[in-house]
Structures are given as C-alpha cells and as structure tokens.
C-alpha cells in the first residue's frame, strides 16, 4: 500500500510547517511534543546525544504520542550515518553543514537506492516494517524528504545552486552557525544575519524549493513565517524547558 510522507506532502501543497527540535534524547519528552499538534519534530543527533537506539525509541514515541511527522538530523553528511537513520524508520532526514552543490548531491545519493543513489538495501529494517512491506523499495525514494542545511556565508552564496540539485526537497538556514561564521556569534538578531537570511530565502525560493529556518522564539517564528519561510522550527524542547524552569525559580525566589 502506498504511503505518503505528510511533512513532505504539506510542503508540496504550500502549507507552512511549524515544528520543534528534540534535543533531550528522551522518548518521553518527544512523546509530549508529538501530542502538541506540531507539523514536524526533528530528532537531533548532531548536537544532541542521540544514537540509533534512542532515535528508534523517539520515532516510536512520535507515533504513540500523536503521529506527528518526525525527521532526524544526521550528525554529518555521511552515507553510513544517513543509512542508519533511514533504516531506523525516519522518512525525513536533515543533513547539516552543506556547503556546495556537490555536497548536496552526496546527501541525495545517501537517501536514494541504486541505481540513482547509494543507499544500502537492507532486507529487514524498521523502515520496511522488518521486511513486511514489499513495496517499500519502489516507493522509498519518492517518500523520503531531504532537508539540507546552509549555515555559512559561503553556503548562502551557493544557495541557488544547492537548492537546484535534484533530490533536495528543502534548504534550511541555520542562523546560529551563520551568526558565528559572520563574526557575531550568538547574535542572531544582528543586521548581517538578517540580511543573509533574506538573501538565502530569495535564492532558495527562486530555485523553486521551500526554505526552512530555526527561530529562537514565538515572535521570531511569526516574523520568519511572514518573511516567507515554509519550514520553521521554534527552538528546541530543551530551550523551552530551561526558560520555564528559570522563570519559575526566579519568580519563586523573588516572592520568598
């Protein structure tokens, strides 16, 4: 039976997708996110301590918590890393730090089966229901959604060519690393970062691809959606937890 990737389908239909990164390596926390009505969750394995077993557990938590589409960010643009993520059952893969069209093509090859790509064709994995989904291999390339991240000034300049690569579904701007590369580390609101975001958005959308970005707050997320970004993550569950806990402790101590 043909299945679709609802996150990919939403973008193709022109519906903005709003989600959140999962960085706590906690299936329970991810299950809470999955019941909140987000359009997507990104399970992070670049900056968060998520290995393959924890990725599987969180993909299962997403299904149990509300069937929110779950993506996984690879720890690098590496064929083995991406193959393992796909075999875990992820249908959307985020690849960090893509600098050139050739690196984007390498990511495409990692998510597609031969002869188009180079993904290993394991016979029984969670991705193909442990071998019980015989049509998986014929449908997988169409179902998988590839998100590549551009995170430096050089990558922004190459964004048109990166977005034009066949098989790249979304180009996602990482403003944190971009700010660092521009010499204003941790200052995402700096004018140079804003200008780079605007250039990236124009280049990506001109190539006919959706543009994604990370927001640090609800207000910033609304602004980025208004700018025209189609995939917006509102920080991480770790950040929201820290903000709430710090606020609770601060207010209690003020009244003590």
Give 86-101 pLDDT, tens digit per residue: 999 999 999 999 999 9
| Residue 35 region by backbone torsions, left for phi larger than 0, else alpha for psi between -120 and 50, else beta | alpha
Nearest-angstrom CA–CA distance, 137 and 145: 15
pLDDT reported for residue 255: 78
pLDDT reported for residue 225: 98
pLDDT-derived band at 177 (thresholds 50, 70, 90) equals very high
| 55 assigned to some structural domain | yes
**Domain range spanning residue 196?**
6-255
Is a pLDDT exceeding 80 seen at residue 2? no
| 212 assigned to some structural domain | yes
| 247 assigned to some structural domain | yes
Check if 190 is active-site: no
| 1 assigned to some structural domain | no
Number of domains in the chain: 1
Residues 6 or more apart whose CB falls under 8 angstroms from that of 43 comprise: 22, 30, 50, 55, 58, 59, 70, 71, 72, 73, 90
Nearest-angstrom CA–CA distance, 188 and 233: 15
pLDDT reported for residue 66: 84
Segments of 45-130 assigned E as strands: 70-73, 92-95
| 82 assigned to some structural domain | yes
Q: Exactly one of 47, 186, 190, 240 is catalytic; which is it?
A: 47
Average pLDDT, whole number, for the chain? 97
Is residue 146 packed enough to be buried (19+ CB in 10 Å), middle (13-18) or exposed (0-12)? Answer: buried
| 73 assigned to some structural domain | yes
| 145 assigned to some structural domain | yes
CA triple 173-44-112, angle to 5 deg: 75
pLDDT reported for residue 88: 98
pLDDT reported for residue 190: 97
Q: 89 forms bridges with which residues in the sheet?
A: none
> At 204, which CATH number?
3.20.20.60
Mean pLDDT of 58-83: 96
Q: Which secondary structure element, helix H or strand E, spans residue 20, and what is its range?
A: strand 17-22
- Omega of the bond prior to 115 within 30 degrees of 0, cis? yes
pLDDT reported for residue 256: 66
CA-CA distances (angstroms) from residue 73 to 70, 92, 119, 182, 246? Answer: 10, 9, 17, 23, 28
Instruction: Find, among 74, 227, 96, the residue nearest to 155 by Cα.
Output: 96
Mean pLDDT of 170-174: 99
* pTM for the predicted model, two decimal places: 0.96
């Amino acid at each position: 039976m043909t299945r679709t990737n609802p996150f990919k389908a939403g973008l193709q239909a022109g519906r903005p997708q709003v989600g959140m990164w999962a960085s706590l390596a906690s299936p329970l926390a991810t299950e809470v996110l999955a019941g909140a009505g987000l359009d997507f969750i990104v399970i992070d394995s670049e900056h968060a301590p998520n290995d393959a077993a924890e990725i599987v557990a969180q993909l299962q938590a997403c299904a149990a918590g509300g069937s929110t589409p779950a993506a996984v960010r690879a720890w690098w643009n590496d064929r083995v890393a991406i193959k393992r993520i796909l075999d875990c059952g992820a249908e959307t893969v985020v690849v960090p730090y893509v600098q050139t069209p050739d690196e984007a093509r390498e990511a495409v090859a990692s998510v597609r089966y031969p002869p188009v790509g180079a993904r290993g064709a394991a016979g029984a994995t969670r991705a193909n229901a442990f071998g019980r989904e015989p049509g998986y291999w014929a449908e997988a390339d169409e179902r998988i959604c590839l998100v590549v991240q551009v995170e430096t000034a050089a990558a922004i300049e190459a964004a048109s060519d990166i977005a034009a690569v066949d098989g790249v579904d979304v180009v996602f701007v990482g403003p944190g690393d971009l700010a660092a590369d521009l010499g204003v580390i941790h200052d995402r609101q700096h004018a140079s970062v804003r200008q780079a975001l605007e250039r990236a958005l124009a280049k990506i959308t001109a190539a006919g691809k959706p543009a994604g970005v990370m927001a640090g707050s609800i207000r910033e997320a609304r602004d980025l959606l208004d700018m025209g970004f189609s995939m917006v993550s509102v920080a991480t569950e770790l950040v929201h937890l820290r903000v709430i806990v710090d606020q609770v402790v601060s207010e209690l101590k003020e009244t003590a």
